[in-house]
């Protein structure tokens, strides 16, 4: 076992982001590591915590607080028992520290900002599997992060 690492996982509760979280849990994290679930809410989202933390993103939120339904409501996040189950298992079985952080704005930019601000050793993202035409028209979050992040990026395709 080497130095404890800090690994980010982009989470929007889509099937691909859940696949990225499961892949990270099964293949990447070791005892003593920290995983940060990174949520990026739309700029126009109107939630109570956005007023306080829009510029810097929320503080790091420990799993115990993140697990509460009230937390999800305050930040406009989905309350997802499947995600919480994976995080609880990581916390107990692998002794991984689990925290969450919420940003507001363009996911491409905010995920790259998170890499810098949180000093991530790596980041894992799900891929929506856009075809080349849609990727050109809509842009690709994962492609942008792979190109611009200053740490290793793993992109997980949905099963």
User: Residues 46-56: what's their mean pLDDT?
Assistant: 67
Identify the band that residue 120 occupies on the pLDDT scale cut at 50, 70 and 90. Answer: very high
pLDDT at 45 over 70: no
The structural domains of the chain, with segments of one domain joined by +, span 6-157
CATH code given to domain 6-157: 3.40.50.620
Identify the band that residue 88 occupies on the pLDDT scale cut at 50, 70 and 90. Answer: very high
| C-beta of residue 35 within 8 angstroms of C-beta of residue 18 | no
pLDDT at 54 over 90: no
Distance between CA 53 and CA 113 in Å, rounded?
15
User: Residues 90-101: what's their mean pLDDT?
Assistant: 94
Residue carrying structure tokens 């856009």:
130
């Amino acid at each position: 076992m080497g130095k404890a690492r800090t690994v980010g996982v982009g989470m929007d509760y889509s099937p691909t982001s859940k696949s990225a979280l499961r892949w990270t849990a099964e293949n990447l994290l070791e005892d003593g590591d920290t995983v940060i679930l990174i949520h990026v809410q739309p700029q126009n989202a109107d939630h109570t915590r956005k007023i306080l933390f829009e510029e810097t993103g929320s503080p790091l939120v420990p799993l115990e607080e993140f697990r509460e339904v009230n937390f999800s409501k305050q930040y406009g996040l989905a309350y997802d028992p499947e995600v919480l189950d994976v995080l609880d298992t990581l916390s107990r079985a692998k002794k991984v520290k689990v925290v969450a952080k919420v940003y507001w704005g363009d996911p491409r930019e905010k995920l790259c900002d998170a890499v810098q601000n949180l000093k991530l050793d790596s980041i894992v993202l799900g891929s929506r599997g856009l075809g080349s035409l849609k990727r050109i028209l809509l842009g690709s979050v994962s492609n942008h992060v792979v190109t611009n992040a200053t740490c290793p990026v793993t992109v997980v395709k949905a099963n």
